[in-house]
Structure 1
Amino acid sequence: MGNKVSITVIRRLPKYYRYLGELLNKGIARISSQELSTLTGFTASQIRQDLNNFGGFGQQGYGYNVSELYRELGKILGLDKVYNAVIAGAGNLGQAVANYRGFEDAGFKVLSLFDKNPKIIGLKIRDIEIRDVDLMENFIKENNVEIGIITTPKENAQDIANTYAKSGLRGIWNFAPADLKVPENIVVENVHLNESLFILSYFLKRNLGGNSH
């Protein structure tokens, strides 16, 4: 069932999940697709269609049970289990990612950072040790690591991806501005910060009347 769901639907699920979490925190027990539409900006029929891909969650005249839908979406997104992760590249970006508290909430446990800079090897970021990158492959194999995060400069990213692939990792979260070549059985999610910034720049320029510098 999951394989046939379009990527655009899947990319909307985390937004539903986030809003449902906020509703739970406010003590709201149920919500209609219309109210969910007002919150998320998606149409009520779009929401119903999206959720119907994964089974019937709503009841006619009642709407959705917030805690049940939140739990089920968490399962669909794979958030009902803990994933061990490592970070390659312990510079500013790598340290910022390691410091991000949202990881634990989402079930991701960063076990170690890796770097080749001898000045920072042995330091700890939030109790997470920075180790020599040469130890990374063995560490991944020995600690059942499933996700590798890349926060290295572009020129090192493919080498890191190769090491990840050899280590038996299942997923890569790539912050480096590089298109990685990896075996088909490894899932890659790219976070291109620059591209996101360029899109912001495009809309800013448009909103400012197209003034060029």
Structure 2
Amino acid sequence: MLLYLHGFRSSPQSFKAQLVQARMREWGVGRYYACPTLNVSPALAVAQAQAAIRAAQAGGDQEIAIVGSSLGGFYARWLGEQHGCKTVLLNPAIHPWTDLASYLGEQPLWHGGGSVTVEPRHLQELLDLRVDTITRPERYYLIAATGDEVLDYREMVEACPGANIRVIEGSDHGISEFADYVDDVLAFCGYGPGGKVPDGAGVA
């Protein structure tokens, strides 16, 4: 299974999530794609991700890969350490308990209307999920944009020593040109035009 974790105030309708799903369908492996609508509570969001992983494993899919964007990238780092799986981080949040302190209260969602309410307890939940040092960095692929207007790409690179790292000059927080990188992301996760590819394929 490939588990895609969207960012803060985002959803499965994010353009990066849609690109990943569309490519997997094109390659005939769409059935392996999962992207839950994550709860605003970090503890509940991670519980949703864990439930998706358990469901895939119960269905016989023992190979898990995770792709996380922004706040979803923060969750992906924690989950990657828990499950020892391939993990792709797209402009990931590194210390969101600080970043989101200025977003307490009701916040509008990017897709479909509606809003979420960020509570002080959510900041502690984020602290509880922090990863101080990644292990087996070869399992990680970081894509960081120098033009990210929300997060500092240098903190992302510093948080992933030894990982496979691609720094994009310019771009933005959403990685507007993600279509140029989606195939590399999927190859790292073990997917190609013919479906699943042998373990070890992907970014060197």
Give the TM-score category using the shorter length: 0.3 to 0.5
Q: Which has the higher relative contact order, 1 or 2, with Cα contacts under 8 A spaced 6 or more apart?
A: 2
Which of the pair has more CA radius of gyration?
Answer: 1
TM-score by length of 2: 0.37
Please identify which structure carries the higher helix content. Answer: 1
